[in-house]
Structure 1
């Protein structure tokens, strides 16, 4: 784990210089053809999956389709993520329309996600301001672990062992959080999003229980939602967990705040597809509106730029990243496993 360094007064111009290099390389241009192809393939997989679902009928073979839909839902969610960052189109309206459609297909509130994710990008790994490290069942610092009580304290105590099982519930958590946000009218287009969430739920349940028997349908839903949650959790967790935690009032500039709290994942084209471009987390946090296929080209420039200024640039393999995550979770929960001293 890299220790944070206080920035020098001259560091304020570093990001401006890096931005010029990125812009001069043409990496801030939109990639509409790429996204048109990606969206078309995703929608074809989505439609083809449901056609296969209807063809198979009431069969336990449908559980393989449940796993397939977990992958498809994740890929659709990645497009929603890119739309939220205005990576696809220049105008907010076009990006929002794309995000709302993809949110409707997956049963998520696009407006809720934008608000939550914007706060994360503004303050990554800040235990006071980043919602991604404010999770009831987990502790990402010793201060957080000391505040756990009751059952949640027991979960945090063994969180490194429970981490992947807990990720199975991430899909359900995303649905519940979406519904709560729309119900509280925390999203700008709450009526439209309400209609989209209700339409998704009714269509999803109708398709499942018209084709499948009650028992098969329930198991199909559980397999689908659990695997989708696991996939989503495994896509986001390696990017920041186990990196430096920040506190309000830190003195890092924008460049160092984003680089020192993020981690890239190696893996070539397989990782590019499986993680939806999130494997280039450092570049994504520095340039969130950069189109997904440009991130790998920006990485060459950013990595060299950081090396020239002595800024630690974290990058490792996929499996190793989970090792760092689990080590960090185990370390911060160590005080909870120590026997209490009684007088």
Structure 2
């Protein structure tokens, strides 16, 4: 009887999603926005070129730490374009999207596009689902009390106890982690074809070689070291702060939990309000509910889909959650603090 009810409920949700999907499609919100992305890519690449040109012109100066910050911000905006290409938002052709992803991911910012797509697709299929979502399966943070309780000793216990305080400092290392994971994915050779690994490996090597060459030839060794640390720290922090509000602190589904597509995507996602400025800063990821329901929807269309999605959730009694940016970070940190509570009982009383 329980199994029958579950199946019926799933069909009902699927039907609700089909109605919503049809409405979204009729509004033309799934059509590609070539003009928008042509302009966005041109502006982003121009800013990237201008920043590197300024870097060379300024020369060996400690003012380059400002350039490092600027480049960290532009690298993240460049990575957002790779994200959109990975979801097929930019071009109709999979080949064209892959080429855009290789350029903006591997070549320009040093992140393996294929590795990211594989990991991110698994996340989209099962957001915040223990045992299925790779984004909550890392060793650094615990996202549920059960995960925290598995870390009874060693560095893992210390991290879980203090993870709310360490969260933002740890994001300063996120870019280095992404670079290492990209190289490991190329070398390990599981999943992608040999041709893909060769292409992405060559592009990553060109990025690393070009990056180190221009930095070392322009700056003194100490300045070069500081530049790389500041640049990569800002890149990692900005990336982490853009993705953190999306799901962290939202319900975590137990490994055995069953949920239909619409329910799973909406209940585990958080939207961030704030208008056009937040849209730009977060790369459209602030419309996380709409993005998870329609991952191939072009970024500029997400804001237009929001009223339709919100109305559909209201019709079927599904909680649609949206909050401000600062509040979202507070909720993330509060969740991480509560999750680590069992490991610090002496501090709770």
TM-score between both structures, scaled by the size of structure 2 = 0.94
Deviations 1:31-82 (A, max 9, x none): 0000000000010011111110010000011111100001110011000000
Aligned residues between the structures: 335
The corresponding residue for 2:114 is: 111
The corresponding residue for 1:152 is: 156
> What is the alpha-carbon distance in structure 1 between the residues aligned to residue 13 and residue 95 of structure 2?
36
Q: CA deviation at 1:252?
A: 1.5
The corresponding residue for 1:168 is: 172
Q: CA deviation at 1:247?
A: 2.1
The corresponding residue for 1:297 is: 304
Q: CA deviation at 1:127?
A: 1.5
Q: CA deviation at 1:339?
A: 4.1
Paired residue secondary structure (1:120): helix
The corresponding residue for 1:3 is: none
The corresponding residue for 1:245 is: 252
Please, which of 175, 193, 197 is the counterpart of residue 204 of structure 2? 197
Q: CA deviation at 1:215?
A: 0.4
The corresponding residue for 2:183 is: 179
Matched, 1:126 2:129: yes
Misfit runs of 4+, over 4 Å: none
Any residues of structure 2 matched to 1:273-284 within 5 Å, and which?
273-284=280-291
Q: CA deviation at 1:321?
A: 0.1
> What is the alpha-carbon distance in structure 2 between the residues aligned to residue 136 and residue 10 of structure 1?
37
The corresponding residue for 1:43 is: 45
Deviations 1:200-251 (A, max 9, x none): 1110001001000000110000000001100000000100000000123323
Paired residue secondary structure (1:108): coil
The corresponding residue for 1:318 is: 325
> What is the alpha-carbon distance in structure 1 between the residues aligned to residue 258 and residue 99 of structure 2?
38
Unpaired segments of 5 or more residues in structure 2? 1-5
> What is the alpha-carbon distance in structure 2 between the residues aligned to residue 84 and residue 219 of structure 1?
32
Q: CA deviation at 1:312?
A: 0.4
The corresponding residue for 1:83 is: 85
Deviations 1:180-218 (A, max 9, x none): 000111333000111111111110001001000000110
Please, which of 28, 31, 38 is the counterpart of residue 30 of structure 2? 28
RMSD of aligned alpha carbons: 1.2
> What is the alpha-carbon distance in structure 2 between the residues aligned to residue 295 and residue 66 of structure 1?
31
> What is the alpha-carbon distance in structure 2 between the residues aligned to residue 296 and residue 332 of structure 1?
33
Matched, 1:217 2:224: yes
Paired residue secondary structure (1:58): coil
Any residues of structure 2 matched to 1:54-65 within 5 Å, and which?
54-65=56-67
Q: CA deviation at 1:310?
A: 0.9
> What is the alpha-carbon distance in structure 2 between the residues aligned to residue 299 and residue 65 of structure 1?
36
